[in-house]
Amino acid sequence: MIIVVSFLSTLILVEVFVYILGYSPVKENINIDDDAVPIYYRGPTLVEEGFKRRPGPDMWQGKVLSAWLKYIGVDAEVYKDEAEVVIEYDEYGFRNPDNLRDWDIVVVGDSFVELGYLPHHELFTTQLGRILGKRVKNLGVSYTGPLTYTHYLKEYGRAESTEHAILCFFEGNDIDELIKEEYRIRQARERKEGAIQALPTSVKDFILHVHYRYPKSWLAYKLSLLWMHRFPKDFFNSSFIGHGPEIPVTISYAPLGSGQLTQAHKNLLGKALYGWSQIAHEYGMKPWLVYLPSKHRVLHGQLRYSESADRKLTQWQPTDLPSLVKSLAEASGFDFIDVSPALISETQKGNLTYNTIADTHLNRKGSDVVAREIARAFIASGLITQPSTKPNLSD
């Protein structure tokens, strides 16, 4: 007990000392903002109507994945062959050309849509446009969730020619992000109304509560980084056992099944999807939901876990979350596209479709697979006329 009290007292003294000096480890009210950190791994900073987006225009040049690993203290040798890229953002902080003033399709989502380590021509949104012969707008931003997606669609998704709106749902953390967004909005509403705010009911909620209330706090900053990244050894928790030598990979997510979600969480997700769909319909757009699986689901059955791997990862089995999201989406008027089978099929050929260490996202091959699968669904629906030059979707 004495040790615990001493430790907490030391933290409080450091916090007070840092406060007196006026030092803030963060700028613009975000988790990370350092020129050495690629834009992709920084949180959005501009606040509008309670939601955040990135400032723009902006640009970052270098080796994105290697720079991120170096920043968090992990050996960047695993990405030694990574090419240097120039990542550009438009005036609103999204990954689109500055001259994009009209578009046929808008795609909204989180880091899986932004993909801030791939050059623009390798984004699945760009490739989708090439395959279909359509102009596609990318509204993807890291550290965002379904309620922010609705804001993006409403404020930045509509153009004169826009007929289709795609919501990309990532099974790894979109439900968590939705819960955090709802929590933040509820807390803000209660403060505005002078109501007694609900107390955090878990360690994670406590960290979120401290970070949202005191975003420039040294202690909140350190706690948020600890929660995000835990320990470097956790990044080397498994290997992909394909058709060649084993490849070290990081497995981060164990998506829940429908039986593990409360009815309140299911209702919250259904409400969020319905709200997004209603905005799309109001703007005269056809809503689509693209289900993006976690690396764990796609590589499942082809992994060898390390001894230090978390048991919740090693014991995880693919869940029925795709079925739940499909039912909620279709009830809200979406057409549903699950790209999981296509990514799994590619992986079973021995081709990794995700980045390996300390990153959960699609690699160049995975982005290509997702683009082709979405294009195949669009063409099969008959809602988009197939280009005169028939794309090869079977590669």
Closest of 317, 305, 174, 172 to residue 250, by C-alpha: 305
Q: Which residues contact 22 (CB under 8 A, 6 or more apart)?
A: none
Task: Read off the CATH number of the domain in which 283 is found.
Answer: 3.40.50.1110
- The pLDDT assigned to 385 comes to 74
Q: Is the peptide bond before 57 cis (omega within 30 degrees of 0)?
A: yes
247 within domain boundaries:
yes
41 within domain boundaries:
yes
388 within domain boundaries:
no
Tens of pLDDT, residue by residue over 191-215, are 665 544 444 444 445 544 444 444 4
Helix axes 263-282, 146-156, angle to 10 degrees: 10
> What are 61's strand-pairing partners?
86
Closest of 218, 280, 207 to residue 21, by C-alpha: 218
Please state, in angstroms and rounded to a whole number, the distance separating the CA atoms of residues 171 and 180. 15
Please state, in angstroms and rounded to a whole number, the distance separating the CA atoms of residues 103 and 113. 17
What's the structural domain count of the chain? 1
32 within domain boundaries:
yes
- The pLDDT assigned to 2 comes to 61
- The pLDDT assigned to 57 comes to 97
- The pLDDT assigned to 192 comes to 64
Name the token pair of 75. Answer: 């050996």
Q: What are the angstrom distances between the C-alpha of 328 and each of 205, 267, 378?
A: 26, 9, 20
- The pLDDT assigned to 78 comes to 86
Q: What's the pTM?
A: 0.84
DSSP H helices, the chain, are 2-21, 64-71, 111-114, 124-132, 146-156, 174-193, 203-213, 218-229, 263-282, 295-299, 311-314, 321-331, 340-348, 364-381
Amino acid at 371: A
- Under DSSP, the state recorded for 363 is -
25 within domain boundaries:
yes
- Strand-pair category, 136-140 with 335-338: unpaired
- The pLDDT assigned to 363 comes to 98
393 within domain boundaries:
no
Task: Show the low-confidence residues of the chain (pLDDT under 70).
Answer: 1-34, 191-233, 386, 388-395
80 within domain boundaries:
yes
394 within domain boundaries:
no
Domain residue limits at 265: 2-381
Beta carbons of 164 and 384 less than 8 angstroms apart: yes
Q: What are the angstrom distances between the C-alpha of 286 and each of 107, 276, 278?
A: 12, 11, 10
- Strand-pair category, 164-170 with 286-292: parallel
Tens of pLDDT, residue by residue over 148-163, are 999 999 999 999 999 9
